[in-house]
Structure 1
Amino acid sequence: MTTRAPTALTLPSVGPEPLALDRAHDAVLGYARGLRWLRFRSPGVPEGRWTQVPAFGWSRFDTRPAGENLDADVLLGEGLHGRLDPAGWHAVHDALAALAPRVDELEARAGGRPFWELPDEELSVLGEPGTVGALLRRIGEDAGPRPAHVLAALHHRRPDLVPHLTRTTRRTLLPLLEEGDSGVEAVVHRELRANEEGFAALEAALAEDVAEVRPTRLRLHDVLLWLATTLRFAHAENEGRRVRGAS
């Protein structure tokens, strides 16, 4: 019997209806290649002119090489979430330094397995202490006043293990928590496990369009969730269609 290929992702965090894989593909492609207009003024052109710049953080984050030190990690966080003032910069730097031993614990506990291949018990309070879910919860609690920058840097270092969550996406996941979940990361884990074939198909579909980097399905989930919760999905989807039409 031939298994029918999935045509949609079922992601309650993104919306109540299944998300067609074609739409998800266009949205991620638009995130990677989409443009927006910016009015630019310079000493040579004081009257200003319009120019197009990347609409999203792909080129400033996803395509950048892994940081060689904490300073580089902070810059990666800034590439996705914006420049920090001196106090914010030091807060992120210090948080990353303080969290290093806990991240080592997390990697040891995962034992080389990516986030979506971990058993459900690793994201349940029933297995605590010492589970992946418990360690991720502590990392989120100790990320300091700029948690988005910290988690972005940690995700960039381990894109297959550390979910990248912001205040906005975390709030979106909260109503989907189930009894026994160790944290909102359990919701992400559940959606990745339930859509294993769909995300594998999405990875394959994007392989040629964004050949410079292969985003993990954890990052793909993050992008789709962020686009939906910040009302940017339509822009990214339209840009993805434009890019595909121009190729």
Structure 2
Amino acid sequence: MVEPEVDTGAVLVLPSAGPDPIPFAEALAAVVGYARARRPLRFRSPGVPDGRWVRVPAYGWARFDAAPASTGPDADVLLGEGLHGRLDRDGWTDVHDALARVRPLVHDAVRRAAGRPLWTLPSGEFSVLDEPGTVGSLLREVASAAGAHPGHVLAALHHHHPALVPHLTRTTRRALLPHLEEGDSGVEAVVRRELAANERGFAALESAAARATGDAAPTRLRLHDVLLWLATTLRWSHAVHAGRGPDAPG
């Protein structure tokens, strides 16, 4: 397969992430920084009672994007924890039960999509006018049934269906809400529009990010999520700086 050419002057236009176009090189640096940035952590153990400083991954790439495919329900919960932190006993049960509860809805969405990625689906699949049974309506039902820890649930589902089920958090969902248009079935419609409007840019970003990081190849659906999360949580500058630093790959 011929890889998309990268236009160094290209930009991504993502209104949900802010009013200004994002230069392609900056978007790539942000993704690489998300994958490679480290932060200091004070570590203590019986062998080192006074503690010592270690550098650990700043973001969830190694624990989620580069993690192998799940092997069962318990591993699904672990994937969610890789992005959103450890759960207590009640939280673990809640996520475990929610994943079982939404499984039929996800199955119906996958069957309806018929192998097509979210960004190639017709707009009607995300319009209330074409409901019921659309992909958009099914994804909305999944989000509604995701329980008390929707981020964990959607993280696991995205890992299983990386081209169809968006990973959304409360933060990124709030950023998408102002961009809903009349008739949209949910915020997934906004994600689809932005991916479709930037088709060539995200195709190139998929290839460039996979080459630059070397240990994972997230779909453009996940890359959109990463860019939006970095922008809306004020971590953009840190990730870009890390992605352009001397230790960055490529």
Structure 1 unaligned residues grouped into runs of 5+: none
Residue type of the partner of 1:97?
A
Q: Distance in 2 between matches of 1:241 and 1:229?
A: 20
Counterpart in the other structure of 2:236: 233
Conserved? CA contact 2:76–2:156, under 8 Å: yes
Q: Distance in 2 between matches of 1:67 and 1:201?
A: 27
- 1:204 Cα shift? 2.2
Counterpart in the other structure of 1:137: 140
Structure 2 unaligned residues grouped into runs of 5+: none
Check if 1:170 corresponds to 2:173.
yes
Check if 1:104 corresponds to 2:98.
no
1:199 to 202, 206, 214: 202
Counterpart in the other structure of 1:155: 158
Check if 1:209 corresponds to 2:212.
yes
TM-score (norm 1): 0.96
- 1:243 Cα shift? 4.7
Check if 1:146 corresponds to 2:149.
yes
Counterpart in the other structure of 2:83: 80
How big is each residue's C-alpha offset from its partner over 1:58-89, in whole Å with a ceiling of 9 and x where there is no partner? 01011111111111100100111000010110
Query: The residue matched to 2:52 in structure 1 has which SS?
Result: strand
- 1:51 Cα shift? 1.2
- 1:196 Cα shift? 0.2
Q: Distance in 2 between matches of 1:159 and 1:140?
A: 16
Check if 1:90 corresponds to 2:93.
yes
Counterpart in the other structure of 2:21: 18
Q: Distance in 2 between matches of 1:223 and 1:80?
A: 11
Counterpart in the other structure of 2:54: 51
Counterpart in the other structure of 1:128: 131
- 1:240 Cα shift? 0.3
Q: Distance in 2 between matches of 1:110 and 1:195?
A: 21
Q: Distance in 1 between matches of 2:206 and 2:146?
A: 30
Residue type of the partner of 1:44?
G
Q: Distance in 2 between matches of 1:246 and 1:189?
A: 30
2:190 to 164, 187, 192: 187
Q: 1:181 to 1:50 in 2, by over 3 A?
A: same
Q: Distance in 2 between matches of 1:243 and 1:15?
A: 28
TM-score (norm 2): 0.94
How big is each residue's C-alpha offset from its partner over 1:120-156, in whole Å with a ceiling of 9 and x where there is no partner? 1111111111000000000000001111100000001
- 1:110 Cα shift? 0.2
Q: Distance in 2 between matches of 1:187 and 1:104?
A: 22
Q: Distance in 2 between matches of 1:207 and 1:49?
A: 33
How big is each residue's C-alpha offset from its partner over 1:100-123, in whole Å with a ceiling of 9 and x where there is no partner? 111110100000001111011111
Conserved? CA contact 1:33–1:243, under 8 Å: no
- 1:176 Cα shift? 0.6
Q: Distance in 1 between matches of 2:228 and 2:140?
A: 19
RMSD: 1.5
- 1:213 Cα shift? 1.6
Q: Distance in 1 between matches of 2:112 and 2:72?
A: 23
Q: Distance in 2 between matches of 1:16 and 1:129?
A: 34
Query: The residue matched to 2:82 in structure 1 has which SS?
Result: helix
- 1:245 Cα shift? 5.8
Q: Distance in 1 between matches of 2:102 and 2:74?
A: 15
Percent identity reads: 64
